[in-house]
Amino acid sequence: MIQDAPVSGTALSAPFLARLAREIANVAYFKIEVPGAAAKLREMIRLGGDAIEGPWDGEEAITLPRRSRRRRTGTMPSGAYPDALRRIVDDYAAGRREAAVAGYERWLPLINYENRQCGLAACKVLMKEGGIIASDSVRHPVLPLHAASRAGLVEIARRLDPLVLRWAK
């Protein structure tokens, strides 16, 4: 799996990634976390064809519905609420589009808040809040959440009751 993320500091073009998939047998899965990830994935699939087995993006599931309708075989969003995202993906896979959309719309306030206000720190904050880990400290270059952002995240999450907030309690 190749992860294409801005934090790496190395830009990886869609043609380059597709070429890697076509020419290197064990390179078939990609996690694209750059702005415009959906467009980049479409281009990779067009250029790489069947060599692209796992075209995924992360982005805290912000593009999950569009991803689920195409040839994307999985998702690698935040680990903060996999219980909810699994139900959404399962509904799409089973052809229950309306149920998947309704599930996504229910979780969208949290998905959006995590994506736009919190980023990588959100998962750790919710795991700490749920008693799973003792510290929500993050490594450089990720900054800790501002207290107001943290409070907003926890407030939205509590309304949805994700497993992360009750698993270790």
Active site residues: 31
Omega cis (within 30) before 82: no
Calculate the CA 14 to chain-centre distance.
Answer: 19
CA 61/CA 64 separation, integer angstroms? 5
Which two three-digit tokens encode residue 39?
């467009």
Place of tokens 């519905």: 65
164 DSSP assignment: G
